[in-house]
């Protein structure tokens, strides 16, 4: 089944939002960021789409949960981290 263009747009927005801290070369301040709330809101908007029936593969869901958990932990720790230099090593 094909994913509808409007659903693709919501998913793309969620991905871009989640990856924004990784694109910055300066430290991302998790203590002041509203990233978890914005991602939750986008996810709720996607979940409200009644005609979205596609379920992502389990690997994708597990990866999403891991990344989300890391973001939440960094928020709780009030971390300031320059993420781009860390992930650049693995390109």
Cα–Cα nearest to 28, from 86, 68, 91: 86
CB 54 within 8 A of CB 3: yes
What is the pTM (predicted TM-score) of this model? 0.76
pLDDT at 83: 92
32-89 pLDDT, tens digit each: 989 888 988 998 988 888 887 777 788 988 888 888 888 889 999 999 999 999 999 9
CB 78 within 8 A of CB 28: no
> Radius of gyration (Cα) for the chain, nearest Å?
15
Residues listed for the chain: 91
Q: Sorting pLDDT into bands at 50, 70 and 90, what band is 1? A: low
Distance CA 14, CA 83 (A): 18
pLDDT at 64: 83
Residue ranges of domains in the chain: 5-88
């Amino acid at each position: 089944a094909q994913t509808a263009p409007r659903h693709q747009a919501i998913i793309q927005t969620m991905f871009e939002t989640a990856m924004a801290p990784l694109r910055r070369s300066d430290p991302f301040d998790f203590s002041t960021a509203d990233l978890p709330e914005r991602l939750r809101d986008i996810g709720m908007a996607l979940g409200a789409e009644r005609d979205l029936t596609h379920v992502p593969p389990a690997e994708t869901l597990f990866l999403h949960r891991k990344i989300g958990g890391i973001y939440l932990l960094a928020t709780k720790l009030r971390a300031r981290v320059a993420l781009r230099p860390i992930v650049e090593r693995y390109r």
